[in-house]
Structures are given as structure tokens and as C-alpha cells.
Chains A and B, each alone.
Chain A
């Protein structure tokens, strides 16, 4: 079973502060993704990565940066957090070939920006 671990599970940040959300996967998947989940919007793609050293913009990248220092780790960085970034964030990994579109999700990080 694919394993994706997110940390922290809950985070309270102040407006203007820097926030880093971390994700680790042990499935040796090339692709990793960051989504945010908001009521009425489903999951929206923020950033994704094809492998170590690569990051790509998703549908809503503004205000976020991403870092993929290794195959296993993918971070989401909010340099200047704003209340509009209060949300639940999910990391996912996916393989290549026929399985590449099947995503395996972490348990999520609930972020509140005050």
C-alpha cells in the first residue's frame, strides 16, 4: 500500500508569517502533488512535480512555492501567509505508466491563518 505522510497535521499561523508544509512518500513515485480542499471547490491543484528538482505550477499557484529536494519529499511553502490560505492541504503521489493517474493521498494538513 502506498504511503504518503504529511506534517504537521494542524497548523496555526499569523498573517505575514512563513509556513512550510511537508510531505514524504515511500512508494518511489515520480509524481507528487499539492492540493487544497475548500467547501464547494473540491480539490484544486497548487503545484506538482515530476521528480526530484522539478516543480510545476498547477491551477492556483499564486502565493505558494514548492520544493522537491528528493524523490521522497515535496514541500509547500507559503512565504507570506494570508487568511485566504486557510484551508486543508493534501499531498498526493502518483506513479508512471498506466498507474500514473492513480493518486495516493496523505491525511491532510489543516492550516488556519489568523
Chain B
């Protein structure tokens, strides 16, 4: 079945720096890709949902890149600020499937 490897497990950057988190998945038929953000003591909140047909997606302060050839999904925070400090999870699923497979998470700390 689908496996998702996420790295790094921990990431510490200064305010204004960029931060990159990468996930590598195994199933070439994967179709939906997600980034979730988890703040302390809270559940996961959807940051962005990406379809396999779109390789670059931009949100507020971040960019998601999908490299289907290498089966990689990345989250790039362009100018991190302390409010971005959280645990980030990628998730992957296939067409019509119920099962969402999560990466192991990246704990991001942004210091002033």
C-alpha cells in the first residue's frame, strides 16, 4: 500500500527565513495531496489540497510543489513568522479511495 515519508522531523528557522518540508510517496496513482497544520493542543487543520493535475499551488505565505516524476510533495514557507510554528503533516490518497495516508509530521519552530 501507499507509504509516505516526510522529512525533516524537526526544523528550526529564524523569522523571515524560508522553510521547506518534503514528502515522498510510493503509489504513482496517488491523486490527492494535502498539507495539514497542527497547532499545540489542537486537531489538524487543512492548509492546502492539491490535485495531481496541478504542480504548483500558492497559498498565503507558502507554496506547494508536486513533482509527480519523483513522487514528491513539498511545502515551502517563503518568509516564516512565529505564528507558523506548528507540526505540519502531508497526506496522500488515491482516486476514489477513502484512505488518507499521513506522513510522520514535521515540527517547525520559527524564532523571532
Contact = CB atoms under 8 A, between A and B. Distances in A.
Interface residues of B, number: 23
Nearest to A107: B43
Contacts of A31: 98
Question: A interface, how many residues as a size bin?
Answer: 20 to 34
Interface of A is mostly: strand
B105 A42 contact: yes
A35 B91 CA distance: 13
B41 A107 contact: yes
Contact of A45 (B45, B99, B103): B99
B43 A90 contact: yes
B41 A42 contact: no
Nearest to A48: B98
Interface in B51-76: none
A102 interface: yes
Interface in B81-112: 89, 91, 93, 97-100, 102-105
Contact of A108 (B42, B97, B100): B42
Nearest to B104: A42
Contacts of A28: none
B25 interface: no
A50 B99 CA distance: 12
Contact of A107 (B42, B100, B105): B42
B54 to A, nearest CB: 14
A43 interface: yes
Contacts of B99: 45
A106 B43 contact: yes
Nearest to A106: B43
A42 B102 contact: yes
Contacts of A40: 9, 104
Interface of A: 4, 31, 35, 40-43, 45, 48, 50, 90, 92, 94, 100-108
